[in-house]
Structure 1
Amino acid sequence: MEPRPRSFYVLATFFTLFLLFLYGPTLTIAILSFQGPSGGLTFPMKGVSLHWFHDLFQQQAVGDIWGSFRRSFVLGLMVMITTVIVSVLGGLAFRKRFAGSGIIFYLIITSLVIPSILVSLGVGLIWSQSGLPVHWSTSGFGAQLTWTLPFGLLIMFAVFNRFDKSYEEAARDLGASPWQTVRFVVLPIIAPSLIGVALFGFTLSYDEFARTLLTSGSYNTLPLEIFGMTTNVTSPVIFALGTLTTLFSFGVIGLFLLIFWRIDRRRKAQGSDAGNGLA
């Protein structure tokens, strides 16, 4: 076995430092969340226990943790479903050139570079000046879509740019209607990409702060609630909350990866069965 070059160890060290930079703060919070009952917000730790996780499920003097979690979860699902639907429709629309398509494309991308706080302020003002109630499920929902839709559309543009149109032509030759072609041919083929768009939509919404700050109304989402707790809560219970929300985020990612794996496995099994039938 040939010895590894020195560049390998240099790059491996750089990659390790990069991972520590990414996940070091999260690991620090996770460790401090296991402080003993008399522990504080800093090191050194005073004992090890699950006290603060238990305390998290008790009545809190400050904030509405579980109410804000439910709001963030529902809002994430709303944004996810809307992002998937609009992204697919937009991707299908942009498969053909039409008048103004270039301008619309750049307008979509521009929303990604506009400062988030300005988007939040603008959406909040539009809602209030229109006499509509500023609420997390309306104005907050609209503000977050300005963040998730461009990502979803970019993914769909890339997917349909590589899509083999011969599958659709074969479906039409067999008598399929346009709707049947989309439903039974196009959507199954791009299903893994739809899972990616859904994951983007949910996770970007779940932890979005700036675009929700001035559009959530009287009820906080979870990121806003955690931010408010940083000025009022002086115990490791906030670290316990951070640890649980992080685990929930990883759980959502794991669920989507499992769905992707099941779809890929089923597709390979169908391809194998088709090959055996031809043999």
Structure 2
Amino acid sequence: MHGRSRPKSFYVLGAFFILFVLFLYGPMSTIFILSFQGPEGGLTFPMRGVSLNWFRNLTEKQMVGDFAGSFARSFALGVIVMLCTVAISLAGGLAFRHRFRGSGVIFYLAIASLIVPSILVSLGIGLQFRIIGWDTTWYGSGLGAHLTWTLPFGLLIMFAIFNRFNKSYEEAARDLGASPWQVIQHVVIPIILPSLIGIALFGLTLSYDEFARTLMTAGTDNTLPLEIYAMTTNVTTPVLYALGSVTSAFSFVIIVLALGAVTFVRWRRARHGSDAGRGV
């Protein structure tokens, strides 16, 4: 059985997958390599020396660009969007477990922003704030614009989770005298916790690198994507590549932490289940 040769389709699909990975990560690897150039390095190959000069340059005062400030704003906005996305998605998922009047209309309104061009959403929110007389800021109008992007994903995930949720756990808890809030706190949330971590990851990463919906809503203070875009017109050194490498590494760290949290939750759940089976 082990000696059977693989069909030709396996190698064709394998080659296609490798090409896809190269297409996906090729530009990122190019930026990563060029960010390690020496002090005389440029924006293209061939490389001129190898050093950490441009990474050190990120910590110095820049003539153009506000790296630290834009990163802090993007990260703070991402965390706020993440918390709002998780809370609203959980509440929406619980609400939609039972049909109510107007639920279909609310559902389609909630996900409608996915089919509207992002730049139009940004323009509309920016104009609305100006008509009301409010200033556009990254933490005000920017927050609203980002939620139009992250909430539909969070809601769709919660709907999928609750569609296959086993209600017998809740019924057992109620039979034991648990209140509705205790059922949610001690039964529902622990079961769906890995999904909530996934929604949090979506909320943070989608907000952290969002450009189009921030363009007309950030006000006078740039987030990191806007700052990088502005730098492409006046920065001609690999410091831009170093910034891209650092932000990409930060995104990967967030993803690894989220996957680690999901793995830990599942391991802990499996351990408690085995302990309960042994009567511990």
SS of aligned partner of 2:94: helix
Q: Which runs of 5+ in 2 are unaligned?
A: none
* 1:136 positional shift: 0.2
**Structure 1 match to 2:77:** 75
**Structure 2 match to 1:277:** 279
Rounded Cα–Cα distance in structure 2 between residues aligned with 1:131 and 1:24? 45
* 1:128 positional shift: 1.3
Please point out which of 21, 32, 35 is paired with 2:34: 32
> What does the per-residue CA deviation read over 1:130-179, in whole Å, with 9 as the maximum and x for residues that have no partner?
11121000000000000000000000000000000111111110001100
Segments of 4+ in structure 1 off by > 6 A? none
Q: Which amino acid aligns with 1:226?
A: I
Rounded Cα–Cα distance in structure 1 between residues aligned with 2:194 and 2:57? 40
Rounded Cα–Cα distance in structure 2 between residues aligned with 1:132 and 1:106? 28
Rounded Cα–Cα distance in structure 1 between residues aligned with 2:36 and 2:241? 9
* 1:55 positional shift: 1.0
SS of aligned partner of 2:279: helix
**Structure 2 match to 1:228:** 230
**Structure 2 match to 1:265:** 267
Rounded Cα–Cα distance in structure 1 between residues aligned with 2:137 and 2:98? 37
Please point out which of 35, 45, 48 is paired with 1:46: 48
Rounded Cα–Cα distance in structure 1 between residues aligned with 2:239 and 2:65? 12
> What does the per-residue CA deviation read over 1:26-78, in whole Å, with 9 as the maximum and x for residues that have no partner?
00100110111111000111111111111111111001111000000000000
**Structure 1 match to 2:146:** 144
Rounded Cα–Cα distance in structure 2 between residues aligned with 1:215 and 1:106? 24
Rounded Cα–Cα distance in structure 2 between residues aligned with 1:208 and 1:60? 24
Rounded Cα–Cα distance in structure 2 between residues aligned with 1:160 and 1:185? 13
TM-score (normalised: structure 1): 0.98
**Structure 1 match to 2:211:** 209
* 1:105 positional shift: 1.0
Rounded Cα–Cα distance in structure 2 between residues aligned with 1:27 and 1:121? 34
Rounded Cα–Cα distance in structure 2 between residues aligned with 1:275 and 1:245? 45
2:171 aligned with 1:169, yes or no?
A: yes
* 1:115 positional shift: 0.5
Rounded Cα–Cα distance in structure 2 between residues aligned with 1:236 and 1:124? 33
- Percent of matched pairs sharing the same residue: 67
Rounded Cα–Cα distance in structure 2 between residues aligned with 1:36 and 1:23? 23
Q: Which runs of 5+ in 1 are unaligned?
A: none
Q: Which amino acid aligns with 1:239?
A: Y
Please point out which of 18, 22, 32 is paired with 1:16: 18
**Structure 1 match to 2:199:** 197
Rounded Cα–Cα distance in structure 1 between residues aligned with 2:103 and 2:31? 46
**Structure 1 match to 2:57:** 55
**Structure 2 match to 1:65:** 67
